Structure 1
Amino acid sequence: MALLRNWGLTLGKRAGRPVARLEKDSDDPEVLRLKEAAATADWATVREVLEARAEGEGRTELLWTVCDTAGVETWITDVAEAEPGAALPRLLAGLRHVSRGWEARTSARAEDVSREQFEVFHERLRTAERWLYEAAELEPGWASPWYCLQVSGRGLEVGPEVARRRFEATVRRAPYHLGAHQQQLQQVCRKWGGSHEEMHAFARASALGAPGGTLLGQLVAVAHVEEWLSLDSGPDAAYIRRPEVAASLHEAADHSYRHPDFARRDGWLQVLNSFAMAFSLAGEREAARECFRASEGRVTEFPWSYLNGSDPVAAYREWRSKAGR
C-alpha cells in the first residue's frame, strides 16, 4: 500500500557517497520475524511480538507488516472468532481488509479504476470497519483502531466531519502519532475535498505545536510538495521557489530534524527524505544536501514515488546529484 509508510534499505559505497538502494524492510529486528510468522499463520508469535510493543504509534509499522502479508485473511478471522473478547485479532482482521481493499483499487487515478474494482474496494473497507469498531470497543484506550479507521474512512469517503472525528479520536490517545497526522493531511488536501489553505494551516499547527525534534515537521514539507504537484508546469516551479515557501521549510526543519531532541525512531528516514525532496524542488541546495547526507543514501518510497512511481531510488539519485551531493 502506498500509505506514507517508511521502508528501510541496504547501503553500499561508491565514489565517496552511499549507494541508494530500496528494500521493504526496516531496521527493526522484529519486522522479519513478524513477517515470517504472519506468512505461516503463527498466531502465537504474531501476538507475542505485537503485545511486546507499546500500543500506539510504536506498533504502526508492525501492524502493517502483518496486514500487508498475503494470506493473512485466510486465518486471522478464525482467530478473531475463536477469541471473542480479544481486540488484537480484530484489529488485524480489520487492517488486513483495509490493505486488501487498497490492493483492489490500486494506486491509479479514480478515472482509471473500474466500477468492479471500486465495488471490491468498498466492500472490503466496509468489512474492515466492522472489525475495527469491535476492536475499538474492546480496547477503548487504543489509538490503533482509530488510526486504521482513518485509512478506511478516506477510501469510503466518509466526509470531512467524520474523518476529523476519527483523527481526533486517534490523537487523544496518541497525540503525536505520525501516521494519524499523515492521514489527516491527505484528508484536508484539495484532491480529497479540502483546500491548500486548510492543508498548510493543519501542517504548520501540527508541526510547531509538537515538542522540538518532532517527526511532524514532515507535514510542512509534504504540504508544499502536494501544492506543487497540483499545479501545471511553470506555475509549479514558481510556487515552490517562493521565498516564503523556503522560509516555511526552514522553520519546520529547525523544529524537527535539526532540533537536538530529534531521534532515529520509526519514521525518521521518511522525514529526511521528504525534506530532501521539498528543499530540492525549492532550489535550497545546501539544505537538500544536508538531508541527503543525513539519510546516508537510505531511500523511502514516499515521497520519491511522486516523482517516479516505478523507481523512487532513481528519483532520489537524480535530485541528490542536482544538489551536488
Structure 2
Amino acid sequence: MALLRDWGLTLGKWTGRPAVRLVKDSGDPDVPRVREAARAGDWATVRKVLEAHPESEGRTELLWAVGDTPGVERWITPVLEAEPEAALPRLVAGIRHLSWGWEARTAARAKDVSREQFEVFHSRLRTAEEWLYEAAEREPLWTSPWYGLQITGRGLEVGQVTARRRFEATVRRDPQHLEAHQQQLQQVCDKWGGSHAEMHAFARASAFGAPGGTHLGQLVAAGHLEEWLSLDPGADAAYMRLAEVAKSLREAAEHSYRHPDFVRRGGWLQVLNTFAMAFSLAGDQEAARECFRATEGQVTEFPWYYLDGSDPAAAYRKRRSSAGR
C-alpha cells in the first residue's frame, strides 16, 4: 500500500493527461471473480472468496458484487437449507434481498414509485432483515450484517433512533467503516428526515474524530454536495462558493488525503473523486487539480452521476478540463 505522497506524483506541477475511464471496482481481482461465480451459482467459489477477506478488509465491496447479481436469490435458498447454522449464506441472502428490494423501488423519487413497487420493495427488505439478523446472531463480531441493516432500515423507515443504533452497532465493530458512515450521512440528511445542520455536524465529527489520514474526510465533501444537490439552480452554485464551504473542504482535505498517513486502499479513489468535484464546484481549481492528478483519470460513479447520471466520466472530464488539467 502506498501513501499519497509516494505515488510518484507531486502536489505541484505534473505532466501528461491520463485517459479517463470509469472504475466500478476497486481493482481487486476478487471482485469480478466473485461476481462471475455468483452469476454461475458457484457457492463454493463465492464462499472461498468471501472467507478470504475478513470483515472490514474489502468484504463490503465483494458482498455488493454478489448481492447485485441477478439470480442469487434462487440458488442461495438450497444453500441456506443445507447449512442451517452458517452465517455467511445468511449474510449473502440478506445483501441480495436488500439489493433486489432497491431494484424494485428504482432510483425514482418516492412520488414516482407505484404502490405495487413499494409493496415489493418493502417485502424484500423485510426478508433481508430476517437473514441479516440471523447472520448477526451467528457471528456477533461481524460488521456486515449491521451495515446491511442500516440500509434496510432507511428503506423501511425505522426512524432516526433505530437507525442510529444500527450505525453504532456497525462502528463499534469497525470505528472507521467508511460505507457505514456514508449510510448514516444519508440517514441524517434532509431528504431522509434529518437536516443539513445535522448532516454537516455528523460529517465533521466523524472526520475529525478519526486519526489523520482517514478516508472519513470524504463525508465533509459529500455533505456539501448533498446540500448543493438539494438547492435550485443558482442557489446551488452560490452555496458551493461560500467562504465557509471552501474552508471546511480545505480543513477536511488536510486531515484526510493530504495527511501523510493517507493510504491508497479501499475507498481511496472515491474519496479523491468526491473532493475533486467539491473543490471544482467551490471554485478552488488548484485543489481540484490536485485531486484530478491523484485519481489519474480513474472515475468513480459517485459523486459524478450527480452531474451526469448517464455518463459520470463525461462529467469528470469536463470538470477536469475546467480545472486546467
TM-score (norm 2): 0.94
Question: AA paired with 1:26?
Answer: S
Query: How far has the Cα of 1:26 moved from its partner?
Result: 2.9
| CA distance in structure 2 between the aligned counterparts of 1:34 and 1:183, rounded to whole angstroms | 24
After TM superposition, give the deviation of residue 22 of structure 1 in Å. 1.4
Separation (CA, whole Å) in 2 of partners of 1:147 and 1:265 = 20
CA distance in 1, matches of 2:187, 2:309: 21
User: Hey, what does 2:69 align to over in structure 1?
Assistant: 69
Q: Which residue identity is paired with 1:195?
A: S
For the pair 1:229 / 2:229, whether they are aligned, the reply is: yes
Partner Cα separation in structure 2 for residue 57 and residue 123 of structure 1: 31
> Which residue of 1 is the match for residue 168 of structure 2?
168
What do the CA deviations read for 1:173-216 (whole angstroms, capped 9, x no partner)? 01100000000000000000000110000000000111111110
Alignment coverage as a number of residue pairs: 311
Distance in 1, Cα, partners of 2:16 & 2:69: 37
1:23 Cα deviation from its structure 2 partner: 4.2
Between 24-33 and 60-69, the greater mean CA deviation after superposition: 24-33
Partner of 2:268: 268
Gaps of 5+ in 1: 1-14
Partners of 1:23 and 1:282 in 2: CA distance: 24
Worse overlay, 193-202 or 52-61: 52-61
Separation in structure 2 between the aligned mates of residue 16 and residue 141 of structure 1, nearest angstrom: 46
- In the other structure, the counterpart of 2:120 is 120
Q: Is contact 2:125–2:152 with CA below 8 Å preserved after alignment?
A: yes
2-structure distance, mates of 1:323, 1:282: 11
CA contact (8 A) 2:24 2:300 kept: no
Look up the equivalent residue of 2:189 and give its one-letter code: C
Match of 1:307 in 2: 307
Q: Which letter does structure 2 place at the counterpart of 1:267?
A: G
Alignment partner, residue 319 of structure 1: 319
Q: Indicate if the aligned counterparts of 1:57 and 1:179 stay in contact, CA closer than 8 A.
A: no
RMSD: 1.1
Question: Structure 1 residue 29: deviation in Å?
Answer: 1.3
Partner in structure 2 of residue 4 of structure 1: none
Q: TM-score, normalised by structure 1?
A: 0.94
What displacement does 1:37 show?
1.1
Distance in 2 between the 1:62 and 1:238 partners? 39
Report if aligned partners of 2:189, 2:198 keep a CA contact under 8 Å in 1.
yes
Any stretches of 5+ residues in structure 2 without a counterpart?
Answer: 1-14
Query: Contact 2:26/2:267 (CA < 8 Å) preserved in 1?
Result: no
2:195 is the alignment partner of 1:192: no
How many angstroms does 1:24 deviate by?
3.0
1:107 aligns with 2:107: yes
Report the equivalent of 1:55.
Answer: 55
Quote the Cα distance in structure 2 between the aligned partners of 1:217 and 1:205: 10
Query: What is the aligned partner in structure 2 of residue 159 from structure 1?
Result: 159
Residues 57 and 174, structure 1, Cα contact 8 Å, conserved in 2: no
Q: In 1, Cα distance between the equivalents of 2:81 and 2:147?
A: 23
Q: Shift of the alpha carbon at 1:100?
A: 0.5
